Structure 1
Amino acid sequence: MQMLAIAGSLRTGSYNRQLAEAARTVVGRIRPDIGFAILNWSDVPPMNQDVEHPAPAAVRRVRGSVRASDGLWVFSPEYNHAIPGPFKNLLDWLSRPEGPTRPSVLARKPVALAGASTGMSGASHAQDQLVGVLSFLDARVMNKPRLAIPHVASQAKDGVLRLTTSASRLEAQAEAFVRFVENAREHDEG
């Protein structure tokens, strides 16, 4: 099994990128047989249908990574109660069919949602929006458990995430997502 994490922030030291790194560690501990990568999408250009076919190289690369994964684990911050603009742009590129007979790479893809924010919502508003967007794109969104970490700075020291109070919740989501992906694969294999 191959999992792909997408941090919804482009900032190198973002809490959500650090949360994705922590998830990689958790998955490696509970299931060392699972591959786990974090998508680098910093070079994806703004969505523009004028250059959609053929898609820019960065878009083809990220689509290939998503296609090759068995499940996507999204770690998104929240800006003004919403999905960050650059991350929504990535989803817009991923939503587009690759050709007349190839649907979006998000179609039927198992997805888990997690997020951290410095405010009190824990990125839950962005997660609600992501459920709507991803469900519309026929992704298989795992509705429970979601992971929303409010006031994330209180679990960090000098900008480094420590997960002092959220580690067990991250592990519970990891275990649930592994089962969710396995069940989706079994269902698809018939």
Structure 2
Amino acid sequence: MKKIKILAVIGSLRKGSLNRQLALEAKAIIGDRADFEILEYSDVPFMNEDIEFPAPEPVRRVREAVKAADGIWFFTPEYNHFFSGVLKNLIDWLSRPESRGKTHVLDGKPATISGVSLGMSGTTVAQDHLVTLISFLNMDVMNVPRVAIPYAMNYTDSQGKLALSDESYSFLKSQADSFIDFVKKHVQE
């Protein structure tokens, strides 16, 4: 059986973002059990139907990365009780068909969500909004377990490096193990 491929989509473009750091923790936990790649998409333009067909090269590139992935793992911050605008813009592009009459690349893809934030909700509100959107787009969402880490400043050093508590690490490991199994079942179908 081929090794599954997980594509991490981070809802922050900041290179040192806490959610990027959380994704790297997940990658380390997964190790060699799956290929784990972080999607880079800072060059994706604002969604605009005037440039939809043919799609700009950055959009074609991210669509190909999503098509090649067996599962999508979203790592979302929470901005004003919602996920970020850059993540919404990316999903808007991915939810559009590559050409008229075709389906979009997210259709049927297994997905899970994690997040870390400075506030008390730990991204649970943003995650719930994201679940609503990706469920509407017919992604196969693994809702349990999910990781939402609040008060991130309690888990960072003076340089902003994330250091998970034993409890948070345990939750992230449980989610990683479950998502690998979830994606494998989907691939076998």
TM-score by length of 1: 0.94
Tell me which residue corresponds to 1:174: 176
Alignment of 1:160 with 2:183, yes or no, is no
Q: Deviations 1:82-123 (Å, cap 9, x if unpaired)?
A: 111111001100100112343111000000100010000001
Q: Please state how far the C-alpha of 1:44 moved relative to its aligned partner.
A: 0.6
- List, as ranges, runs of 4+ consecutive aligned residues in structure 1 with deviation greater than 6 Å: none
Find the residue that maps to 1:160 and give its secondary structure.
coil
Counterparts of 1:59 and 1:83, CA distance in 2: 20
The one-letter amino acid of 1:2's match is K
- In the alignment, structure 1 residue 10 sits paired with structure 2 residue 37: no
Any idea what the Cα deviations from partners look like across 1:130-165, whole Å, max 9, x if unmatched? 111000000001010011000111111120001124
Equivalent position of 1:183 in the other structure: 185
Matches within 5 A, 1:1-190: 1-28=4-31, 32-158=32-158, 159-165=160-166, 166-187=168-189
1:24-74 CA deviation, whole Å, 9 max, x = no partner?
Answer: 10000xxx1411100001111100010000101101001110110000000
When structure 1 is superposed on structure 2, of 178-187 and 167-176 the one drifting more is 178-187
Which runs of 5 or more residues in structure 2 are unaligned? Answer: none
Q: Distance in 1 between matches of 2:59 and 2:153?
A: 32
- Counterpart-to-counterpart distance in 2, 1:128 and 1:33: 28
Q: Find the aligned partners of 2:97 and 2:74 in 1 and give their Cα distance.
A: 21
Q: Secondary structure of the residue that 2:113 maps to in structure 1?
A: strand
Once the two structures are aligned, what percentage of the paired residues are identical?
51
Q: Which amino acid aligns with 1:39?
A: L
RMSD: 0.9
SS at match of 2:7: strand
Write the distance in 1 (CA, Å) between the matches of 2:188 and 2:69. 15
Q: Does the residue aligned with 2:90 lie in a helix, a strand or coil?
A: helix
Letter in 1 for 2:25: A
Structure 1 residues 170 and 33, CA gap change in structure 2 (3 angstroms): closer
Q: Distance in 2 between matches of 1:13 and 1:102?
A: 37
SS at match of 1:114: strand
Distance apart, 1:186 and its partner CA: 1.8
Q: Distance in 2 between the 1:162 and 1:83 partners?
A: 23
Q: Calculate the TM-score normalised by the size of structure 2.
A: 0.95
DSSP-derived class of the 1:157 partner: coil
